[in-house]
Amino acid sequence: MSIDELTFRDTAIPWNPISLSGLLDIIGATNMIIIMKTGTERDVITPVIARIEELGLQAHPIIGEGQAIVGVVGLPLPPSLDEMFEVMPGVERVVRVSKKYKLAGWDFHPQKTVIRIDDVEIGSDEVTVIAGPCSVESEEQVMESARAVKALGAKLLRGGAYKPRTSPYEFRGMGVKGLEILATAREETGLKIITEVMTPSDVEVVGQYTDIFQIGARNCQNYLLLEEVGKANKPVMLKRGLSLLIEEWLLAAEYVMAQGNPNVILCERGIRTFENATRNTLDVSAVPVLQSMSHLPVFIDPSHAAGKRPLVGALALAGVAAGADGLMIEVHPNPDLAMSDGAQSLDFDEFAALMPKISAVSQAVGRSLPIPAGAGV
Ligand code: PEP
Ligand code: MN
């Protein structure tokens, strides 16, 4: 008897022998496997099968001596399905084969995403640096910053015109005037710009100015906002929520992508832990973990993780060493006078000293970061 002639009991209710290749076909197509407890009787398995079929999915029970598993075939599988089956009588464990994050994951997108904005590439071999002040404060401050960071090799200028602040009494941004200043800086320097949008009703106006929408950590799970930027035709940088699991973060990216916008950048900016020596704890491991789960470009924001200027450089270098596609660094002409996040903002000299180091680490890990001639310390 050849191995293919071996029979297995598929759908034991009713008894239905299948060949090995039939079994492998089922397993290959299975999106979820429900493992029943040892010794579970068929009358306990039947409601599990019925529930699967009620959901419009196919059930493939495979029943052996005292052991049974039920393959679930069909997409999409609602994310809550695992929990629904886990609490059913007789169920030992549910193993999801297909990912919850279909668009952000590698399964249906085997190539790494490279986002192109004219001549700027994000996610290619080149490490991309975004730099600039936390907030847009004045035209002079932004223009000075833009010229300085461009001369040192940054490709994009950052600056918030709408600022999420922990206290409502702090500076909350210049609004449209701030967007106009950023656009002026783009015109003069050629740098692309990225700025935060905080609410769905601002997506249109921010989209008239920015090259990339920034979704801040506090809004990472603001699903209506995510859907709104998902409908806009511009890349989105999604900063990790303060206490977000990586899978939840990818599901947030999925909200943007499900609206038809594939250009999402994930930015690790530190998470909240028990440690308070830094503002947040930079999860460097998020870089390789995300890259194993998703084709989307991954950035590190060392500034909001560190919270303190002297720590920013080390975290930036660690991010690039871990394989980040880019960095977003706060740089201010005079950090001591900054209206937000001055303590973590580098001055131009500090940024100038850091860029060649970032370039060297980029090369050490097989990437590049060209520094314009004449730039430096
Ligand atoms: C910012 O980039 O200035 C900012 C507010 O970041 P986060 O949303 O990560 O706190
Ligand atoms: Mn900031």
Q: Which residues pair with 87 in a beta bridge?
A: none
Distance 330 CA to ligand 2 centre (A): 7
pLDDT for 19 equals 64
pLDDT for 331 equals 98
Which pLDDT band, with edges at 50, 70 and 90, does 2 fall under?
very low
How large is the average pLDDT for residues 42-50?
93
Give the number of whichever ligand sits closest to the CA of residue 335. Answer: 2
Residue 294 DSSP code: B
Distance 135 CA to ligand 2 centre (A): 7
Q: Is the CB of 257 under 6 A from ligand 1?
A: no
Quick: pLDDT tens for 342-366: 999 999 999 999 999 999 999 999 9
Determine contact, residues 130/140, Cβ cutoff 8 Å. Answer: no
Nearest protein CA to atom 1 of ligand 1, as residue: 134
Nearest to 318 by CA among 280, 288, 353: 288
What six digits make up the tokens of 371?
């520094």
Which pLDDT band, with edges at 50, 70 and 90, does 212 fall under?
very high
Quick: pLDDT tens for 90-140: 999 999 887 888 899 998 899 999 999 999 999 999 999 999 999 999 999
Quick: pLDDT tens for 271-328: 999 999 999 999 999 999 999 999 999 999 999 999 999 999 999 999 999 999 999 9
What's the Cα-to-Cα distance from 244 to each of 157, 160, 221, 247, rounded to whole Å?
Answer: 26, 22, 9, 8
- State the chain's mean pLDDT as an integer: 92
What percentage of the chain exceeds 70 in pLDDT? 92
Distance 99 CA to ligand 1 centre (A): 29
Which ligand 1 atom sits closest to the C-alpha of 164? 5
Output phi, psi for 364, to 5 deg.
Answer: -65, -25
Which ligand 1 atom sits closest to the C-alpha of 270? 9
- Give the integer Cα–Cα distance in Å for 235 and 118: 12
Q: Is the CB of 45 under 6 A from ligand 1?
A: no
* pLDDT(3) > 80: no
How large is the average pLDDT for residues 235-241?
98
Q: Is the CB of 241 under 6 A from ligand 1?
A: no
pLDDT for 373 equals 86
pLDDT for 18 equals 60
Query: To test ligand 1's pocket by mutation, which of 165, 214, 282 has the most ligand atoms within 8 angstroms of CB?
Result: 214
Residue type, 63: I
Which ligand 1 atom sits closest to the C-alpha of 341? 3
Determine contact, residues 286/326, Cβ cutoff 8 Å. Answer: no
Q: For the chain, list the domains and their CATH numbers.
A: 17-96 (3.30.70.1140), 115-364 (3.20.20.70)
Which pLDDT band, with edges at 50, 70 and 90, does 23 fall under?
low
200 preceded by a cis bond (ω within 30 of 0): no
Query: To test ligand 1's pocket by mutation, which of 130, 134, 170 has the most ligand atoms within 8 angstroms of CB?
Result: 134
Give the number of whichever ligand sits closest to the CA of residue 159. Answer: 1
Residue-level length of the chain: 377
335 preceded by a cis bond (ω within 30 of 0): no
> How crowded is residue 272: how many other Cβ atoms within 10 Å of its Cβ?
14
pLDDT for 22 equals 66
Q: Is the CB of 132 under 6 A from ligand 1?
A: no
Which pLDDT band, with edges at 50, 70 and 90, does 268 fall under?
very high
Q: Is the CB of 295 under 6 A from ligand 1?
A: no
How large is the average pLDDT for residues 154-177?
95
Nearest to 198 by CA among 185, 179, 183: 179
Which pLDDT band, with edges at 50, 70 and 90, does 221 fall under?
very high
Distance 91 CA to ligand 2 centre (A): 48
Nearest to 127 by CA among 108, 152, 148, 155: 155
Which pLDDT band, with edges at 50, 70 and 90, does 47 fall under?
very high
pLDDT for 15 equals 45
Distance 76 CA to ligand 1 centre (A): 34
Quick: pLDDT tens for 191-206: 999 999 999 999 999 9
Residue type, 241: G
Which pLDDT band, with edges at 50, 70 and 90, does 376 fall under?
low
Cα atoms found within 13 Å of the Cα of residue 147, Cβ hemisphere only: 7
Determine contact, residues 213/231, Cβ cutoff 8 Å. Answer: no
How large is the average pLDDT for residues 150-173?
95
Q: Is the CB of 240 under 6 A from ligand 1?
A: no
Distance 216 CA to ligand 1 centre (A): 5
